[in-house]
């Protein structure tokens, strides 16, 4: 049995997008070159790779900007859905009279 389109869309919005955002933040803050050097030297790699030294304003700033943009879009979608629900409800009430 397949899920309705609304459930699929909600799954994308509330599960996949945050997971992709978290994965991109993790990948952007790790020292992957160090892991490659460990492989080349024949050492046992340490997983997860160590964090890059120093502050991470680029990755954190990008994550914050993305989160703000997502919440702005979700707010507009919610307002639109509520307005559509009110209009649909008022048309049902007027047609039943």
Structure-model confidence comparison of residues 79 and 59, the more confident one: 79
Residues of the domain holding 13: 5-96
Q: How many domains does the chain have?
A: 1
On average, the pLDDT of the chain sits at 80
pLDDT in the model for residue 25 = 80
Alpha-carbon distance values, 33 to 23, 30, 40, 55, 61 (Å): 18, 9, 11, 18, 23
Structure-model confidence comparison of residues 14 and 90, the more confident one: 14
Q: 3: pLDDT confidence band, cut at 50, 70 and 90?
A: confident
Q: Closest by alpha carbon to 13, among 62, 64, 70, 52? A: 70
Crossing angle (nearest 10°) for helices 57-96 and 17-28? 170
**pLDDT, tens only, 38-73:** 889 998 877 776 766 776 667 677 778 888 889 999
Residue pair 63/21 in contact (Cβ under 8 Å)? The answer is yes
Residue pair 30/47 in contact (Cβ under 8 Å)? The answer is no
pTM, full prediction:
0.40
């Amino acid at each position: 049995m397949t899920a309705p389109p609304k459930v699929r869309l909600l799954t994308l919005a509330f599960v996949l997008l945050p997971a992709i955002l978290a994965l991109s933040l993790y990948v952007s803050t790790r020292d992957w070159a160090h892991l490659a050097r460990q492989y080349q030297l024949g050492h046992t790699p340490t997983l997860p790779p160590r964090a890059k030294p120093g502050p991470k304003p680029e990755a954190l700033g990008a994550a914050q900007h993305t989160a703000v943009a997502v919440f702005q879009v979700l707010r507009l979608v919610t307002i639109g859905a509520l307005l559509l629900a009110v209009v649909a409800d008022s048309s049902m009430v007027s047609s039943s009279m």
